Each structure stands twice: as C-alpha cells, then as structure tokens.
Amino acid sequence: MYLRYGDVGWDAGDGGVEPTVAAAPAHNDPKPRYGRSLRNERLPMVRLNGVAVHAITEDQCVQYILKELREGRGGTVVTPNLDHLRRCQTDLNFGALVAEADVVVADGMPLVWASKLQGTPLPQRVAGSDLISSLSAGAARENRSLFLWGGDPGTAAGAAAVLRERHPNLRIGGIICPAYGFEKDDRQMAGIVNAIAEAKPDLVYVCLGSPKQEKLIQRIRPMAAGAWWLGLGNSFSFLCGDVRRAPRWMQKIGLEWVHRLLQEPKRLFKRYIVQGIPFAAKLLGQSALAGAPMIGGGAVMEPAEPESGPRDAAPGAAVEASKSVDASRGASSERTPRISSGAAVDLGRLRAVILLGGSVRPTPLTSHIGRAVLDLPLDDRRTLLHGWLGQVRELGSKIGLGELPVRVLVNRGTSDPASGNGGSWPELRVERDFAEYRGTGGVLGDVAWDYRDDDLILVANASQLLLDPLHRLAVAMAETRGQVCLVGHQDGTPSGLMLLTCGALRMIPGTGFVDMKEQAMPAIASNYEVTVVQRRRPTGLPIRTLAEYITALRHEHRGRLGSRAGGDPLDESWQPAFSLVEAGATVEGGARVHDSVVLSGATVESGAVLVRSVACSGCRVRHDATAVDQYCTMAGEGNRKGA
C-alpha cells in the first residue's frame, strides 16, 4: 500500500507479484551479477488488495523462523485472513502493522483463491491454528522455549498441557492469561513486560484477538527483541479443545467460516455476513480482472533456480529467488518460486548512498559542540557517521554490491565530518557545495549527472539515528516500483529518505534555488511515477537539538540493555541509560554523569553533576556545579540551556 505523489487517497496497488531484488550489471560488466531478495531474506511475495503476503508453505514458514533464531534474529508473524485484509483498507494503523511484520502468511482460503485468480498463486493457506502446532514441534526439536500470552481463562494453560504432552522436551517459559482490560492497567502491563523479559523466550504466542494482539506486540516486543512474536487469535482455544475446529474437509474447501458462524452466530454474523461476503466478492472479482491479461502470457511465478550459480540473462529478465529454507539443516527441499516482473525497480542498480550533512543555517547544537553533527558520538567507539557507514555496509552486502560509495554533501557553512577518516571506508567522500543558495533539489540535480539515467541513488538526511535497518527501508521503497520513492510517516512528517532514478533528476534546473519538495517533486511527478511508503511510526530520530540528541542516545543505549523492568517500554524513564565519555575527556572520581556526554577536551570535576547535558570541548565543570539539560561551554558555567 502506498500513496502516489499528489493523490489524496490510498492506492491499493495492482495486485501483482512483488519484485525480487537483484544486483544489476556494473557499467562495464557484460554479465549481470545476481544478488538475493532483501525483504525477509528471499521470501517471495504476492500482493493482494495492496497487502503484501509471503508466498510460502507452512513448513517453509516454520523453517524460516527457526533459521532466523539460530542466527540470532527475532521478528514478528502476522496471519491475515479475509477480515484482516478488509481492515487494512479502513484502519491505516493496522495496515501499517501488517506491512511492517517480518512474515505475513495467508490464514484464509479466499486469499488463496484470489491469488490464483490474479495469476500469482499462493502455495497454500497457512493458518495460525496450524502454525502453533508445527512451530512448537520444531521448537521442541531445537530446544527452544515458548511463552503463551492471552486466550480465554484456562485456555493458555490447556494449550500448554497439550503441547507438553505432544513434545515432552518442549520448554515453556511462562503462561499469562490477564483479565479483560489489562492493557489499560499500568501495573498489569508492567507485570507482563517483566515476566516476558525475565523468561527470555524464543517464541511468544499472543492470542488476544486482532488488532489488539498486533498493537501490543509492536508495543512491548523490544523487551524480547531476539524472540519471534506471533499473533494467533483463537488458537489456544482450538488447541486445547475449548472451541472445536471445522472438519478437515470444510477447511480445505474454504467453509471453516460457516462452522465458526454456527458456533458463535451473535459475535460473528456482522464480520462474516455483513462485511465478509461483500468484501470477498469484490476481492475475487478484482483479482479475476487483474489476472485476465496474464492468460495469454504475462507475469508468472516459476520454480527457482538452484543457489549454485546465476543464470546468464539480460538486465530486467526474471530474477532468481533462492530457497527460503536451509536444506542442510533438515529443512524442506521444496523450492520457492522465481518471480518475473520487468517493471520491478532493481536495487542492483543502486550506485551510491547520498548523505545530506549540511543545513542552511547553524543550530545551537552545532554551534556549541564545534563539530559536524555526523561526528557526534553514539558510544565510546562510534559516531553517527560510523552508524550510517555500518548501515550502508549491510545494505551493500545484502544486495551483492559490496561496499557502496557513500557521498556526504555539506554546504559552505557546515563543518566537514572527520570521524570517517582513517582508511576503513575507502568509498567515503565528503563533498562541499560552496554555492550560497542551492536547495536540496539543486544539489541532487548536480549529483545525478555523475550517473546514467537508469541508475539509482539512495538519499538520506544524515542528521538522524535510524530506528529501522536501512536495507529494509530501501527494499520497501524499491517494492513500490516507482522511479522516485519517498518514505513518509502517517503523522505527516517526512523521513528524509528517498530512492531516486537519476533520469528523473534531469528535470531539475541547473541554476537557481530549487527546493526538492515544493519545486522539484511536482515537476518530476508530472513525468515519472512517484510513490510514498507510509510508515506507522518514525523511521529515525532527528538530531538537531540537545534534547533530540540525548533522546537518540537514550534509545540507542537502552536497546543494548535488553530486558529491563518497567511499564510501557515506549515511555521515557527517569532512570539513566548511558554515561558517554569521549577519549581525551576527563571525568574525576565522584562526578555524576547521567544521560550526558563529555566530549574530548572537557573536564568534569569530582562532585559535579551532569544530567541530560553535553560538556563541550575545552570546558571545565566545577565540583559544585549542576548542569541539567544544558551545554557546558568553555566558560565552565554550565548554564547554557539546550535548544
């Protein structure tokens, strides 16, 4: 789901196959170099009514989750049915939660039927009530632990008993069945957060009904970021026998909803009859129309080639999707499909990452610290620039292009970032624009002339700490298939991230001030497809003021603490998260530094107190001084408020 530039409504997409990402040939390379699909490590997808759904089997889903656990990565699984698909169009927050999940599998035969009608078939239905059993069996084999949360009274314990009976070695780290309305009680929420954090589970099954379970998973999953979280609806009741599932024959022909309706007619009549049947008819009709052009030959899903080597093919040809499971670890040998789409934007054409590192006028933050924002420390080894370089390195590795060039653009009034020096990143270049008034559009228009029309550049506002991995954001933009794509937040704030085809930037005049948003983008949108990836929450934390810098550092360091007791993990806490002292700074014994930064060349005497402050180079914070939300400058007074 995405917005077209200038539209006021949501564009539901074309119902087609999601592109697989590959590396395109280099300028002088006669043969293309194939990379791997980035989104969720090569899991193929189809789009149903604007919602991306992974085209995998239940066994492949289980094996993928177990593989991710073995490699130390957590994630979320959403199992949308017909009602969820309908709600994605009416509840934008819920739609964003589904879009941001790591694995999305179809829990409903109407979704499978629709995928077949539009010519992009899903291999099978993957029901949450089946997944809980097969995933638990895999967890038992690999000595993984479970945590069961939710369900009607007694059903979580009953489900746990059934799973233990089937798999005696299965580890269950905790069971919680809170009372109705618990999410509004801070004390109960704190107890749940603490229980999950202390259990350190590998899998968390959440059966609280949708959309409550998806919203709560997103809210508290940082307390067990290495776990996989699954919203499974009524699965506890099915598993323990409290609610009977439909016979297998009804499940296979898509009539399970009739069985459920007969069991709970009052609760389900509106969902299934009033809302479900009309939406199902509309979905199937649209899918049939979308699939009609493919009858004579169009976009198709084909068996994947083996991973042993790429095929020779021309740029833009069908791209290989690797196996989504690891056969060497006992996974299924079934191949996932290769997806052909000539219109897909190929991240293999990415030629550089452009970091916009300057501002029109200096800010109090840059004035006091006397250095570029990119040189602000994130910890005792890394600066903000190092953080960006690490993100770019991961992106280049994912798409098979190695070390992507990074170009940091600064204006005439901004300090050059120095922390990237040292030879560890040979592709890093800092470039200064000496023109007084150019605008972002003017600067990017000049940059584009260094590349071919079909080359891509990824542009980012450098003065922010990314909350989402750069490679995931890049994939989300590439999957919209627009020649120009932006990431935007649902509250209307921009993210400062753009994926641009260089040919689109040729329209920008070579002289004069050109603002990217107000002037360049409307002109580009008249000739090129401009798309917007909507994100429910911010993709990065801005760093323009003292308060924003401290907030970003608190997020960075609290994330490293892992499980930490508390109520809402998204709320700010008075408890300090970090004390950052640069090499070359002096902090005497007895000084108290809480959520503060002491830059190189600064001195903090014994007895001094720093809270949410920055001691700038050359200053001395006296033994009797207390600085709260302040810059401590060379005068040593420690009384300059952050702005």
pLDDT tens readout for residues 166-214: 999 999 999 999 988 899 888 899 899 999 999 999 999 999 988 999 9
- Greater confidence, 108 or 142? 142
Q: Taking 60 as the threshold, does the pLDDT of residue 517 lie above it?
A: yes
pLDDT exceeds cutoff 90 at 7: no
**DSSP 3-state of 489:** strand
Q: What is the pTM of this model?
A: 0.53
What sign results for the dihedral spanned by CA atoms 591, 593, 596, 597?
positive
Confidence at residue 223, expressed as pLDDT on a 0 to 100 scale? 82
Q: Residue 120's CB: how many other CB atoms inside 10 A? A: 28
CA nearest to 305, candidates 103, 34, 67, 32: 34
What CA–CA distance (Å, rounded) separates 516 from 513? 10
pLDDT confidence of 418, banded at 50, 70, 90? confident
Highest mean pLDDT among 43-57, 342-356, 610-624: 610-624
Q: Which residues contact 499 (CB under 8 A, 6 or more apart)?
A: 345, 456, 457, 458, 459, 474, 477, 478, 484, 485
User: Is the confidence at residue 99, as pLDDT, over 50?
Assistant: yes
What confidence score (pLDDT) does residue 308 get? 31
**Residue 457 neighbours by CB under 8 Å, 6+ apart:** 350, 351, 352, 353, 354, 444, 447, 448, 451, 499, 500, 502
- Tokens 């979704």, residue? 111
Quick one: pLDDT at residue 427? Answer: 77
Residue 520's contacts (CB-CB under 8 Å, 6 or more residues apart) are 440, 441, 444, 445, 505, 507, 508, 514
Span 72-86, pLDDT tens digits: 989 999 999 888 888
Q: Look up residue 169 and give its two tokens.
A: 């070695």
**Does the structure show a pLDDT above 60 at 472?**
yes
pLDDT of residue 186: 86
Q: Which of residues 26 and 459 earns the better pLDDT score?
A: 459
Give residue 389's pLDDT.
Answer: 93
Quickly state the pLDDT bin for 313 (edges 50, 70, 90).
Answer: very low
181 and 155 Cβ atoms separated by less than 8 Å: no
pLDDT in tens, 261-272: 576 677 666 666
Specify the pLDDT at position 347: 86
Give the closest residue to 533 by CA, choosing from 468, 477, 460.
Answer: 477
Output the CA torsion sign for 213, 218, 222, 227: positive
- CA dihedral angle for residue 416, residue 422, residue 427, residue 429, rounded to 10 degrees: 10
Instruction: Tell me how far apart the alpha carbons of residues 542 and 215 are, in angstroms, rounded to a whole number.
Output: 24
Place 305 in a pLDDT band, splitting at 50, 70 and 90: very low
Query: What letter represents residue 43's amino acid?
Result: L
CB atoms within 10 A of CB 374: 27
Q: How far apart are CA 463 and CA 242, in angstroms?
A: 54
Q: How far apart are CA 549 and CA 356, in angstroms?
A: 18
Mean pLDDT of all residues in the chain?
Answer: 77
- In 294-451, DSSP assigns E strands to 301-303, 337-339, 350-356, 406-411, 428-433
pLDDT greater than 70 at residue 368: yes
pLDDT higher than 70, residue 360: no
Local confidence band at 37 (pLDDT 50, 70, 90 cut-offs): very low
554-602: per-residue pLDDT in tens? 988 876 655 343 334 444 455 778 899 999 999 999 999 999 999 999 9
Q: Which segment of 196-205, 482-491, 613-622 scores lowest on mean pLDDT?
A: 482-491
Q: Which two tokens stand for residue 403?
A: 């070390």
Going across the sheet that includes 579-581, the strands are 579-581, 596-598, 614-615, 630-632, 640-641
Is it true that the peptide bond before 153 is cis, omega within 30 degrees of 0?
Answer: no
- Distance of alpha carbon 431 from alpha carbon 406, whole angstroms: 10
